[in-house]
Amino acid sequence: MRHKTNRFISLFFVIFFMFSASACASSQTVPDQNLSSQDQNLSTEPPRTEFSESPASAENADTSVYDPYTIENHYDISEELFEKRDDVDYGTIEKDVTYYSTTAGDEKQCNILLPAGYDENGQYPVMYVFHGFGGDHTDQIDDDSYLVLLYGNMLHEQLAVPMIIVNADMYTDKLADKENKTDEELRYIYDKAIDDIALDLMPFIEQNYAVKTGRENTAVAGMSEGGAKSLCTGFHWLDRFGYIAAFAPDPGVIPTRFYKGTYWNTPVFDAFPQPTDETTPFYLYLAVGDEDPWNTDVTLYYQEVLDDMGIRNQTDLVEGYEHDYLFWQQCFYNFLSKCFQTEIG
């Protein structure tokens, strides 16, 4: 009888042990077999860049798609971001880089900023920048220029992503004749930059630098006349530019009542081209100061037309700013902080 009792007790403990082990194993976390491999790997993705200037970005960091339109732009950026620091690598400036422009029928030049840590074996998105009327390819990218210092400091503080910035020259004609051109002639010559940048400059940059291609990796920005050409370029080539910025853009993009009867008012488009689902800009940004002596009304008119067309945009009328680099640098801060942050797909 004792032997039977002992066998019963032993059998009880064996069953109890097996039940306990099974329960422990089932309590461990395992991937849900109904989830896709992409969903299972979410925890291994690198963290998204957060912007210390904007708490809204931290909220978006937990979502699958970063939405730049939900983040308020700032126009009170600290002067420290525009000053040169001893502990910051500002990258490499390649000056007067020459390429042949079929649009101009002549050679053209650009200045190129390669970011700190640039790797020829890597891949970088590209921002193309247009100067204002009468300027050239050295206005924004040059030794200690405000854009070089701003971008270097932002990259150092992880407020922007590594990118190549190309300062394009809007003059698109025979270079030897440039000094003899009137302002009216220049106005129409600048229009040719819309094709030059896409057909000549972009292929040159992509062939000679470590470029990440695709509209999700390509931006265009400009101020004043360059802002107008940025809008024209971005909308003419919606399949190539995913990020578009215009700071106090001039008239001449679409028909307006401003400066009527002058060469400033000759429009490139009869109307803004309507984007498709595949070519809608990831971010379209316009801004103008309320003390701008020329382009406040036209900028707000562009916004009104874009809104009526259902084209999403972020347009700011900013108190206390005029038509100068003090405003451009604030605008560039906002655009740099949002470009190429969007997760595609």
The pLDDT value recorded for residue 102 is: 98
The pLDDT value recorded for residue 176 is: 94
The pLDDT value recorded for residue 35 is: 29
The pLDDT value recorded for residue 64 is: 59
- Which residue is listed with tokens 């963290």? 47
Task: For residue 30, give the amino acid letter.
Answer: V
Q: For residues 171 and 225, is the Cβ–Cβ distance under 8 A?
A: no
- Helix, strand or coil for residue 124? strand
The pLDDT value recorded for residue 37 is: 30
The pLDDT value recorded for residue 29 is: 33
State the pTM of this model: 0.82
Tokens of 113: 């900023």
User: What is the CA angle 190-192-196, rounded to 5?
Assistant: 115
Q: CA 254 from chain center: how many Å?
A: 23
The domains found in the chain, sorted by start residue, are 78-338 (3.40.50.1820)
What does the pLDDT look like over 83-102, one tens digit per residue? 999 999 999 999 999 999 99
- Which residue is listed with tokens 């922007």? 160
The pLDDT value recorded for residue 65 is: 82
The low-confidence residues of the chain, meaning pLDDT below 70, are 1-64, 343-345
CA distance 297 to 288: 9
- Helix, strand or coil for residue 310? coil
Q: Which of left, alpha, beta for 333 (phi over 0: left; psi -120 to 50: alpha)?
A: alpha
What backbone torsions phi and psi does residue 282 show, to the nearest 5 degrees?
A: -70, -30
